[in-house]
Structure formats: C-alpha cells, structure tokens
Chains A and B, each alone.
Chain A
C-alpha cells in the first residue's frame, strides 16, 4: 500500500530535523507549481511505499500568505493519507493553534510532540495520555534531534493512515462561536461537498471571514444573507469581530487543555540561558558590532580562507587536467575546432560551474549554523529598521549582504525568507550589490583612468549599487509590489545548539541543488559564447576574435551604448562575455585590444574610453544583468524563466538608465 504523509508544523518546531530523520538524505527538492514556495518530499526509510512531504513552516491556515494557501490547498486537494503535525512541546500553547485548524480538515492526523528532552531536563511534564484524550488524536513524544521516538511515530502514523482514523470534531468552541459554526455548517453542507471542502473547515473559515473559501463555495444570495446575519449576531453578542472571536476561542480552548495536561516549572533553564545569550547578542550598543563581526568573519572564511583555498585547489586540479588533455589533443593532431571546443568550451564551462561549489558549501555551512542557532531571527530584529523604508524587513539583510560576495549564494539564501513577496523583491535587488567578481574590472579601469583616485572610485561604485538598490526598492514598493506588505510579526526562537547532521545536510542540499539546476545553464551558455567567439558567420574558425560572430553581435548592439559614452564594439563584446562570469570582461578586453596578458590591458583601454565614459561603463557593468550562474539561481528561486528574464531585463534597463545619467550629467558638468 502506498502512503503519503504531509509533515506540517510551525517554523522552528524541528520540522526539517524530523524530515531528515525520516528520509535520510534521500530527498527531492522542488517548488509548488506557480509560486516560489519550496516543496520537499522523500521516501520514509525502512518503509516501502511510504512517502513524506515536507510542507512550509506556518503558524496558521489564514488566506494571507502564499505558504499558508499552498499548504491548505495541498491538504484539501492532494489528500495526503495522514498529517504528521510536529509541535514544539516547550512552546505548546502557540503550536497547538495550528493543530486545531489542521484537525478541521478531516484528514487522519497524528501529533508529534517534539523537544521532549528539553521538557524533561527542565523538570516540566506533559501528560501524553490526557492530551490524546482531550484532542482525540494520537500523540507521540519525540526528540527529533536525538532521533528519539521517531520510529514509533512512523509506525503509529502508518497505522493512523491505514485505519483512516480521522480526528473527531472537537467541541472546542463555546457559546456563540460554537453556535455560529454549527448553524453555518448546516446551511452549507451541499456547497461544501460540491466544492470538495471539509465541512467543518469551510464553516469555521466562513465565520472567520476567509474570502477565498467563501468564493470557492459559490454561495447564493439568500444563504450569504443568513450567514451575514449569523455572524453579525455572534459579533454583537461577543462584542468583538469575527476574526478575533475565532482566534480567541481557539486560544481559550488551548489554555484549558494546557491547564489539564502541562505541568510547568518556573522558566526553564534553556529559556533562561537563551534570554541571557540574547541580552548580549541584541545589546543596545554591542548588537551591531557583534553582527558585523560575525559577518566579516564568515566572509573572511568563505571568500578568503576556505572558499578561495578550496577554489584554488579545485582550479589547480582542473588546470592540470586541462593541460594534460590539451597536450594529449595536440599530440594526436586533433581537428582544431574540436580541440578548442573541448578546452575552451567544455573544460571552461565545467570549471566555471565547479568554481562556485566551494563558496556555496562554506557559506551555507555558516548560514545554516546562524539559522539553526536562532541568530538569523535576531539579525532581522536588529536590522529591520534599515530595510523597512524600501518595503522589506530585516530578514532580507543577510541575502543582500552576501550579495557583496557573490550573487549566487545570496539569491539562494532568499529561500529562508518567510514571505513570497520579500523573496521576489530581495532576488531582484540583490544583484545590484557589487559582487566580488566585478572587482578585477574596477581594478583595471581605475588603474587606467583614475590612478590617483582608485579607492574613491571603488567606494563610489559600491555606494552607487546600494543607492540604486534603494531607489529600485522604493519604485517596486510603489508599483509591482504595492499594497501587499507582509507584516513583520516574527517569532524569536530560543537559541539552540545546531545539530551537525542538519547543518551538513542543508549545506549538501544547496550544493547539489545548485549543481543540478545551474550545470546545464552555465554549461550551455559557456559553449554558446565559445562558439560565438571562435567562429565567423560562415562557421569558419577565426584566428582573430575581431572577425567572430561575437564581434559581429558586439558591432550590432554597440550603438545602444552610444548615449552612455562608449559605442566601440569591443566594449559591447566584453559586456556579452561578462555574462559567463564578470571577471571574463578583463580577459576579453585583453584579447580584443591585443594585449599579451590581462596586466597589460590597462594602458590600452584609453583607445576605447575617456575617464567619464569609463565611469559610465563601470556603472553599467555594476548594475546590468548578473552572470549566468546567478541567472540560473534566479530562475530556480523565481520558479521559471519567464520571471527570471523579466527580472534581468529590468536590471539591464536600470543599468542603462543609470549609466546614461552618469554620462550625460557628467558631460554637462565637465
């Protein structure tokens, strides 16, 4: 028998840890169709035919966020055989709030009471049997991080699915809300059936005023009138509105359960420790220095020590293999076109894909540490005020900061943002932060045109990127993303020691995901650029790149850049090759200007630019669409080429406008 479980719970409830324990590393990562909400599934270890789907971490089944809507649609329409609802036992009150809503969905359900080790060690206790009686669903105490109780959970969940034991309808409502739900349930029995919605869920959502559910039921005018009357009646009796009435009722019911089943001690040791750590980490004066210190350290390790060390090692390996193959190919006197394809196309492509791996591994190791320890939420808490004006929250700070290192992991890091809107906006803004691959371009140009003001020009470019990011953020907030700011109401989870398993798995998952999604894109792009560079329009191999198709294309697009001050085809060509990797622009200039190596490019650049047009060119290079690796990441996170191409065209457009302004205003002044 094939069984599908839906794993669901609040953020920070240990959901991912449990998922990892149940599936091992055998997971499939993807998106829900049409939205940038991640969906993971995998077979349960040791049980053939049993699959578990990891749904987004949510607090409620409200209609307001993509995550919540996707989750409830999945539960209602995909009909998993059972729901495994994981809750954090140390935070049972708020966690049960989602549980009560899930129980309305009429799907067999089991409760996994996680973090029981912390409950025991702090001298608290939870009466499992009583909790089962009160809720009417099986409850299994577990400790996901220690793998305690996970086997029993799986066994009982399978039983639950086989017996199709659905949660009974709880009479957790009292008085007026209860009456309203029941009257409405009677009224809409047929419509709920026709719409395929669980009756109790539909009735409760109507009382709540959940528009999508009301629309889906296709109710007639007279019924809507009666419903309105019932709700008005309830509101006037309770002296509150419908949404508050239901939330209040649920929490009141939970409080009564907890009073019966949970024996609390004074604030637990873990909690006190967490508060103490937090007093330092979010200290009035130390918080920001500590944050900057941590990020500098992570950057230093990622792009300095480990990242570059591993990258160097990797490229050493690739270089030596390349050389060996190159030598071998020369020996056998192979066709020069094929020779070039293998060395400059295939090997270069593979090399450029692999060069990102060390950075991704190291960076996501640290980011997972920060996320799992609970520190990431504090960063959002500390930095929120800075990003609020552009319509984002403190959560977006880390991805943007990583953008200064490399856009690829920065864009991948947006996946942990809790709202779809914030994710999309952050993905569009992040590439404006000047990534480290652009430094070689800046270096060559400042040496050529601003030898006495190098640092000033560099800093102004970084600031320009930030400024454009802010302006575009404001623009997006007023246009595309208008009217739907996601409320910044965020849990600050207790500080916990991250588990090595979870951190390594996350790191591994990201690297594999990148390889899978980016490999083809980067590889094909490199081959295309290689072909354009190596052949002329008659598909003859060229010895001088100036005769190639790429140069032809450069000549074709060059006039577009005339208003920006650089209409030479070689500049346009460099911008095209810059798409494979930004630093490749330097070597393209070297080839096209006939320099013997990249170091001797500097004096030759004055053939193409004057200082003002050089700065305009740098502005364009800073802002225009990111390299193919970042494009692949954007496509992955935005869930398709359409959105990705839209985002990149927009960035290129912004770059053109900015460079245009720089050049025109500059010509006016000087």
Chain B
C-alpha cells in the first residue's frame, strides 16, 4: 500500500519509493541513507507527538513528522 512515512504506525515498516522536499533537507535525508528502495521501520513517536524515530540501515534516525510526510513509502505487510 502506497503512503507517506509519517502515516506509518509505530512498529510498522515501509520501503521508500521517493524522497521529496528540496535543498538542504532533501540532501540530508538522502545522505543519512533514506534513499529509494531502503526499508525503514518507525520505531517510536516522541512524547510530545513529534518528531519520530526511525530504524534503517542498522541505526536509529529521528526526523520531524512534516519532513516524513515528504517521503513516499510502500508499507510492508508483516
């Protein structure tokens, strides 16, 4: 199912299909390994509801909901 990363529930996984955004933000997302075809797991949501914690490439990364909304993913059924 196609969706965006911010819509994934805690604990679920998705495969990145496209990384949106622009400039420094987009480059940073790509540099940190959020490239197409990478599998990402949403590990946690911060206590105040934002940002979120991701698990990818064997490490933990945090990004804001707003930015996660720019990353298109295909949800992986468990």
Give A residues with C-beta under 8 Å from B. Answer: 59-60, 62, 64-65, 90-91, 93-94, 97, 240, 243-244, 247-248, 251, 264, 271, 275, 278, 282-285, 287-288, 377, 380-382, 384-386, 388, 484, 486-494
Identify A491's interface contact among B35, B37, B38, B61, CB under 8 A.
B61
Q: Looking across the interface, which residue of chain B has its beta carbon closest to that of A491?
A: B61
| 6 contacting pairs across A/B (C-beta < 8 A) | A60-B28, A64-B24, A65-B24, A247-B35, A487-B28, A488-B67
Q: Mark B26-38, 1 if CB is under 8 A from A, else 0.
A: 1111111101111
By a CB distance below 8 angstroms, the chain A residues around B51 are 381, 384-385, 488
By a CB distance below 8 angstroms, the chain A residues around B63 are 488-490
Residue B74 is within 8 A (CB to CB) of chain A in the complex: no
**Contact A59 B31, beta carbon cutoff 8 Å:** yes
**Contact A489 B61, beta carbon cutoff 8 Å:** yes
Q: Looking across the interface, which residue of chain A has its beta carbon closest to that of B56?
A: A94
Identify A62's interface contact among B31, B47, B60, B67, CB under 8 A.
B31
CB distance from A271 to the nearest CB of B (A): 8
How many residues of B sit at the interface, in one of the four size bands?
Answer: 20 to 34
CB distance from A659 to the nearest CB of B (A): 34
Give B residues with C-beta under 8 Å from A. Answer: 19, 23-33, 35-38, 43-44, 46-51, 53, 57-64, 67
CB distance from B28 to the nearest CB of A (A): 5
Count A/B pairs, Cβ under 8 Å. Answer: 118
Given A93-B33, A284-B47, A492-B53: A486 in contact with B64 (beta carbons within 8 A): no
By a CB distance below 8 angstroms, the chain A residues around B26 are 243
CB distance from B61 to the nearest CB of A (A): 6
By a CB distance below 8 angstroms, the chain A residues around B64 are 384, 388, 488
**Contact B67 A60, beta carbon cutoff 8 Å:** no
Interface centre among A62, A244, A271 (most CB of B within 10 A): A244
By a CB distance below 8 angstroms, the chain B residues around A240 are 36
**Contact B59 A91, beta carbon cutoff 8 Å:** yes
**Contact A381 B46, beta carbon cutoff 8 Å:** yes
Given A62-B27, A385-B48, A487-B67: A94 in contact with B35 (beta carbons within 8 A): no
Taken together as a complex, chains A and B put the C-alpha atoms of A616 and B31 apart, in Å, by 50
CB distance from B40 to the nearest CB of A (A): 13
**3 interchain residue pairs of minimum CB distance:** A247-B30, A64-B24, A60-B31
By a CB distance below 8 angstroms, the chain A residues around B58 are 90-91, 93, 264, 271
Taken together as a complex, chains A and B put the C-alpha atoms of A60 and B67 apart, in Å, by 19
Interface centre among A271, A283, A285, A488 (most CB of B within 10 A): A488
Interface centre among B27, B35, B37, B67 (most CB of A within 10 A): B27
CB distance from A174 to the nearest CB of B (A): 14
**Contact B35 A244, beta carbon cutoff 8 Å:** yes
Taken together as a complex, chains A and B put the C-alpha atoms of A247 and B26 apart, in Å, by 11
**Contact A243 B27, beta carbon cutoff 8 Å:** yes
Taken together as a complex, chains A and B put the C-alpha atoms of A247 and B61 apart, in Å, by 17
Q: Looking across the interface, which residue of chain B has its beta carbon closest to that of A288?
A: B47
**Contact A382 B47, beta carbon cutoff 8 Å:** yes
**Contact B46 A382, beta carbon cutoff 8 Å:** yes
**Contact B60 A487, beta carbon cutoff 8 Å:** no
CB distance from A210 to the nearest CB of B (A): 10
Taken together as a complex, chains A and B put the C-alpha atoms of A243 and B31 apart, in Å, by 10
**Contact A244 B24, beta carbon cutoff 8 Å:** no
**Contact B35 A381, beta carbon cutoff 8 Å:** no
**Contact A489 B25, beta carbon cutoff 8 Å:** yes
By a CB distance below 8 angstroms, the chain A residues around B37 are 248
**Contact B61 A384, beta carbon cutoff 8 Å:** no
Identify B36's interface contact among A244, A271, A381, A490, CB under 8 A.
A244
Since A62-B24, A62-B27 are in contact, a sample of 9 more A-B pairs with Cβ atoms closer than 8 Å, ordered by chain A residue number, is A59-B32, A94-B32, A247-B30, A278-B60, A382-B46, A382-B48, A386-B48, A491-B59, A492-B61
**Contact A285 B47, beta carbon cutoff 8 Å:** yes
